[in-house]
Structure 1
């Protein structure tokens, strides 16, 4: 009976997606979906599917075909990882009595809320799944989180720090659905006020323990130590900025001014109290009012929200240095030169240096913001591309695509390799980084389309990101250095519903009109 229901759901999704595709992609599609089916066939054969949720492996390709953009490039591991990460995301879509939800672990966890839901990585879930054609998965997921407890938020919504409000606003920048967003606005207002009651101190900063920040064992703190961390304070800044914009959209000028003031206050506090001018880095401040004096990857998070003013960019020099954060298998969660690096043991969820895809996702998103929204010369597209390349290379286990919890920075061994809980860990982004970073589609709240690929021109002679659902239209981004691959002209071109809207000879920032 369950299998019949699952098949019916897939058919409904496919039909809905098919209608969208018929209306919008008949003349715009460059890539052929079935050319990439072999990836899903391979992934299905890699495993014994011991846990299946709303969309089992047997229906995976049908679901992907109508829900995700197509991507092609000359570097096989990037292309393979693209389809693998959509394939794994699909595993976490769960049917509940209240609608679809998205899980973090496939196996049950004792600290989860109803339906095995965990709030630690919700911001990542939003950023990744905002590119799905069917909006119901995120819509229903967050209606459950904010209203699924007899009309109230889930009991464990605040178990972990979150940037949900900011992320959902950024999802709106992709799908343009203001009605859903503003319908949720009262819930978001209540949510923000609750964080202020629970975590805000008289000095205006927010405190959090490592474990409730989703980062259990750090150099700067501990599982029970209450500190002013760049994480929760940046999250609350981002949430306030998003609320101010939503209130403006709703015509609530007074509330918009209130949240703008909250964000401005937090920005000043973060820059004044969490910036270490000696280390030139944003760091954790202890409640004893002294900085922790250790560079940790969370020091890059303020740029995830475009928070810092100009003048703090030198912190990013450390991301490319092998002696600090740039390890063979990824960006480390702490400074490699610190004597406390990797000193908390192993395999109990330490964030004292090992590579966490969760943090890598935050850092790479922040770096793309830095490169797009700031005047700086500290990092360039070569640095961004190499770090993305390392991220791709790290997501393998025994020669096969794999995403788990965290890994050793020098040899790439997954530190919970033999635990079922770690397999398909839905705790990070990858495809959003490809879309908004490598391919450079920068979501906006107007009728312009902005594309700024962060790929050195000498790396790939061609690539194509096709059928991206954006503002109710379908976008295609093509790079064809000599025009022979796709035969749609030389250089970079951006197409909307099959019509070329802007082009350039080189890989560079371009802006065109959606209509």
Structure 2
């Protein structure tokens, strides 16, 4: 058992002066050991993954260094359902592939192969929010911090040329990262960049009525049922993103003591909230929909209608939560291999995106991870009776099952909703597509560690009581401490006693006889 654990304070300097990073406010574990789990017990996964391929592309951390990097950097996870465990380690193994050394520090790529529409160093801005939310659990902060600084200061001190090619929720993601590591210095160093970022989007994409418009292709969701590559629609995506960013910037301003900016951005968020709830909500379909450039609702449900809950935007007790019934409806979004990107009852379902980018119904991990993040928020933060833990576990289970191809772990671009076939699975570009989250969902959703700004530790597992007899999430670096969360129905698996237990730096701080929400001072 680890007690009196000491952490190293990491200070690093990015190679270009304009990108020099602040010293990180928290340390990171370099031991690779938890209070309960032994890292060596999971090395076999990486040994297997390394045999699955001829490593034709090598970047900052090649396969032969993968386990050494993972052992130092990732939380450990164990459960009785082997595919959950395997995909958990597989997704860390693949995320590591995308760490790339550049002249300006580390960057995080989306594709391993070069793409013509990427920025310098093959970086693409579409999934930066996903990258931040996933990498916030990596112990060493330099990878994601340097990536963010490249995006915002890597063009002679200015943003990269293609930063605004895609909608983003970067400010929200950076604040959520702060809730994990409490590194106020880095967050506030990025604060001016986030304020400027918001102003750019207001100038380029805000309509007269206050909503934001976007081409679906620049939402990273081309060939959707509601939009088009050149259509200027007010989509739930960009409007929810801008709400989340405004709320995050307001909180950053509060941390700085800038009451004027705090109130200004809170007011921007409030206006967007009201517009989304009134203009994007279709009372007939009981769903958030795209508001077209013709000022009419699109009259089709798409997975992007769940995104407002990604940011806890919809007001409680106004009937909005009824939208979540659609994830259980086979005519809605429920399919054999997960959640579709458009409702299956639509006569246009998977009709006009076929063979290109199919956001007209096929399953995309990008959208799945957004929807599951939103669903976890609903289950944690809303009083409702439309969805339950069983629904979350079912969809996480399908998400796990979908991440296999030809019998081996795989993550790519998108897949058929009924067969599970990866539609770009035989293309080199699609392998290891870094365009979604998974381990963040495992930590904050399934196991239920809910990041907070205060020093309370909140854990609310979304695992049904009788599903697993045991599980353990260990070596989680949270607020500078190592957190361990375990469930042992009989007490025989881990020898710590029966029940649900939480440890801080190896010391037990909470226990319950059942899997339930715990909030510890």
So what's the TM-score if we normalise by structure 1?
Answer: 0.95
Deviation at 1:146, TM superposition (A): 0.4
Partner SS, residue 196 of structure 2 = helix
Q: What are the within-5 Å matches in structure 2 for residues 177-256 of structure 1?
A: 177-256=183-262
1:278 aligned onto 2:300: no
Q: Deviations over 1:395-444 (max 9, x none)?
A: 00011000000000000011112110100000000000000001000000
Q: Distance in 1 between matches of 2:87 and 2:330?
A: 25
1:92 aligned onto 2:98: yes
Q: Deviations over 1:233-268 (max 9, x none)?
A: 000000000000000000000000000000000000
Aligned counterpart for 1:79 among listed residues 76, 85, 90? 85
- 8 Å contact 2:28–2:140 — kept in the other structure? no
Q: Distance in 1 between matches of 2:382 and 2:84?
A: 27
Q: Distance in 2 between matches of 1:277 and 1:125?
A: 35
- In structure 2, what is the equivalent of residue 372 of structure 1? 380
User: May I ask how many residue pairs the two structures share in their alignment?
Assistant: 494
- In structure 2, what is the equivalent of residue 11 of structure 1? none
- In structure 1, what is the equivalent of residue 440 of structure 2? 432
Q: 1:480 to 1:67 in 2, by over 3 A?
A: same
Deviation at 1:79, TM superposition (A): 0.1
Aligned counterpart for 1:467 among listed residues 472, 475, 478? 475
Q: Distance in 1 between matches of 2:198 and 2:497?
A: 49
- 8 Å contact 2:30–2:73 — kept in the other structure? no
Q: 1:150 to 1:442 in 2, by over 3 A?
A: same
Q: Which structure 2 segments of 5+ residues have no match? A: 1-23
Q: Distance in 2 between matches of 1:98 and 1:354?
A: 37
Aligned counterpart for 1:451 among listed residues 427, 439, 459? 459
- In structure 2, what is the equivalent of residue 109 of structure 1? 115
Q: Which structure 1 segments of 5+ residues have no match? A: 1-15
1:485 aligned onto 2:466: no
- In structure 1, what is the equivalent of residue 313 of structure 2? 307
Q: What are the within-5 Å matches in structure 2 for residues 59-74 of structure 1?
A: 59-74=65-80
Deviation at 1:21, TM superposition (A): 4.0
- 8 Å contact 1:332–1:353 — kept in the other structure? yes
Deviation at 1:347, TM superposition (A): 2.4
- In structure 2, what is the equivalent of residue 501 of structure 1? 509
- 8 Å contact 2:223–2:229 — kept in the other structure? yes
Q: Distance in 1 between matches of 2:130 and 2:193?
A: 20
Q: Distance in 2 between matches of 1:441 and 1:29?
A: 17
- 8 Å contact 2:236–2:276 — kept in the other structure? yes
Partner SS, residue 165 of structure 2 = coil
- In structure 2, what is the equivalent of residue 392 of structure 1? 400
Q: Distance in 2 between matches of 1:343 and 1:81?
A: 31
1:266 aligned onto 2:279: no
Once the two structures are overlaid, the 10-residue window that deviates more, 344-353 or 100-109, is 344-353
